[in-house]
Structure 1
Amino acid sequence: MTDDDREPRQVELVDDPGPRSWRKAFDDLGRGWKQRALWGYLGWQDIKQRYRRSVLGPLWISISMAVIAVAMGILYGALFGEDLATFLPYVATGLLIWNFVQGSIIEGSEVFIANEGLIRFLPAPLSLHVYRLVWRQTLFFLHNLIVWLVLVIIFPQPIGWTLLLAIPAFALLMINGAWIAIVSGILATRFRDIPPIIASLTQLLFFMTPIVWQYDRLLSMPAVAERARIAEINPVLHFVEIMRQPMLGQPIAWHHWVVVGVITVVGCLTALVALRNYRSRVAYWV
């Protein structure tokens, strides 16, 4: 027996926090953000592939939005007796915001299922697919923003410095779109009934959200004002209002911002818990 054999061997301890770890959850988000060149490119390619061999290409996004906004604005404006000069921009702005919310909710529930091949064979953080989804929805939003700009030029609105509030409002939309995609995406990989349920509920939310009807108009009617406040149970209403009010120069109702702030904090914490506990299982569930 040599002297080396007599010496006690030191066992090297590996700092492995295990599959359920806050550090790994935050590391996933951080590594995903560092790969923004990749998900930024993939998000843009998603749009190009959708309109491949099309003459107008991504301009169809704005055209589709314009046709729907004008058609619904004229139809519901006539039904409700609204002034088109104010109602058309109102409907178009609501649809602009709603399309982002709807895309984040519906596509978010399938964000990991749709990327099954990449998740199984590409060692990348889960958050990369979420960032890619939010970026793609942001590109759709920017394309549709052209419709809002044209309508505001044709029908001038009392827009002032409060328009700047639309920037933090959209940032809140992006953050909430990300946590919704994480939570619903993880749930959907385990329970495949989640995406169709979410799609059905989203259709219902459209009619409960003041897109083609004016919430403030109902509040101004004494006969239905109290019952109209029931609409504030719908969380999407608050997200729409924090963006639409500054974009149309309407008075800012700060209680919508408070509600959105609370939802954002609770949602982000929920997403972190889901990412901590189940991120390692997604590859087996998809």
Structure 2
Amino acid sequence: MPPTENTRNWPLALLLSRLALTRAFRPSGLGPLWNTIGIAFAVASVGLLFGTILRRQLVSFDAYIRQLTAGLVLWAFLSAVVGESSIAFARWMPILRHSSISLSTIALSVFLRHLPVLALNMGFFLLPQYLLLGQLSAALQLAASILLLANVAWLGTAAMVLGARFRDIGQLIANLLQVTFLLTPIREDDLAD
């Protein structure tokens, strides 16, 4: 059985994502670890600021910090994939003109490049919470992870298509992601009546 287009994409997409991840570590040695440091700083600063402001309204400050941490980890992954996807076509244009690399290979490589950073952040921030508290079952965690990855994949692909049509949309998408993050609500069951 001859390989299909989709099966031929995986090795090249893995190679491209590995090269991009290696290149990210080269300048400072920390590379994507800056993302983890940024999340820790954001949890500390935003958690203390809004936790102090909302202290009388929060049912549990610890639950607020846990949910803030989980939200920041997942939002960092989503915004990294969607933001990079929106400029990927323009970045890869010189190579696309002179090779037969498909757009799906580039979209897959962008997605795969950010998976190790997501795994690092989840292992550093979220895994200890779930091990200590045992809040979610393994089946529920797996289903939620698959749903998250599927949503990020289609959002990244949509951003890539928009970026291919409108070259400067990357800046608009970055600003929209930032505003959308600020508009995400605090769950009502965390607030006291």
Interval of TM-score (by shorter of Structure 1 and Structure 2) = 0.7 to 0.9
Counterpart of 1:176 in structure 2 is 151
Counterpart of 1:190 in structure 2 is 165
Query: 1:171 deviation in Å?
Result: 2.0
**Counterpart contact for 2:9–2:104, Cα < 8 Å:** no
Q: Looking at secondary structure, tell me which structure has more helix per residue.
A: 2
Q: Which runs of 5+ in 2 are unaligned?
A: none
Does residue 159 of the first structure (1) align with residue 132 of the second (2)? no
Counterpart of 1:103 in structure 2 is 80
Distance in 2 between the 1:116 and 1:66 partners?
Answer: 36
Distance in 2 between the 1:152 and 1:169 partners?
Answer: 14
Distance in 1 between the 2:91 and 2:188 partners?
Answer: 36
**Counterpart contact for 1:39–1:132, Cα < 8 Å:** yes
Distance in 1 between the 2:81 and 2:31 partners?
Answer: 22
Counterpart of 2:5 in structure 1 is 31
Distance in 2 between the 1:37 and 1:201 partners?
Answer: 33
**Counterpart contact for 2:83–2:174, Cα < 8 Å:** yes
* 1:114 match: secondary structure: helix
- Quick one: which of 125, 138, 145 aligns to 1:147? 125
Distance in 2 between the 1:215 and 1:128 partners?
Answer: 41
**Counterpart contact for 1:89–1:152, Cα < 8 Å:** no
Distance in 1 between the 2:33 and 2:155 partners?
Answer: 28
Bigger RCO of structures 1 and 2 (CA < 8 A, at least 6 apart): 2
Deviations 1:175-224 (A, max 9, x none): 232322333322222222422222222111011113xx334346x75xxx
Query: 1:98 deviation in Å?
Result: 0.9
Distance in 1 between the 2:104 and 2:115 partners?
Answer: 16
Counterpart of 1:138 in structure 2 is 115
Structure 1's 168 and 117: CA in aligned 2 closer, same or farther, altered over 3 A? farther
TM (normalized to structure 2)? 0.82
Q: Residue 171 of structure 1 aligns to which amino acid in structure 2?
A: I
Q: Aligned ranges for residues 186-265 of structure 1 at < 5 Å?
A: 186-210=161-185, 213-217=186-190, 221=193
- Between the two proteins, the alignment pairs up a number of residues equal to 186
Q: Residue 148 of structure 1 aligns to which amino acid in structure 2?
A: L
Q: Aligned ranges for residues 10-21 of structure 1 at < 5 Å?
A: none
| Stretch deviating more after TM superposition (74-83 or 88-97) | 74-83
TM (normalized to structure 1)? 0.57
Distance in 2 between the 1:151 and 1:94 partners?
Answer: 13
**Counterpart contact for 1:48–1:58, Cα < 8 Å:** no
Does residue 89 of the first structure (1) align with residue 62 of the second (2)? no
Tell me the percent identity: 26
Larger Rg computed on CA atoms: 1
Query: 1:48 deviation in Å?
Result: 2.1
Counterpart of 2:97 in structure 1 is 120
Distance in 2 between the 1:42 and 1:36 partners?
Answer: 10
**Counterpart contact for 2:64–2:190, Cα < 8 Å:** no
Counterpart of 1:243 in structure 2 is none
Counterpart of 1:44 in structure 2 is 18
Distance in 2 between the 1:216 and 1:205 partners?
Answer: 21
Q: Which runs of 5+ in 1 are unaligned?
A: 1-29, 222-286
Distance in 1 between the 2:96 and 2:113 partners?
Answer: 19
Over the residues paired in the alignment, what is the CA RMSD in angstroms? Answer: 2.4
Q: Residue 52 of structure 1 aligns to which amino acid in structure 2?
A: R
Q: Residue 95 of structure 2 aligns to which amino acid in structure 1?
A: L
Query: 1:128 deviation in Å?
Result: 0.2
Query: 1:93 deviation in Å?
Result: 0.5
Structure 1's 132 and 110: CA in aligned 2 closer, same or farther, altered over 3 A? same
- Quick one: which of 35, 46, 50 aligns to 1:61? 35
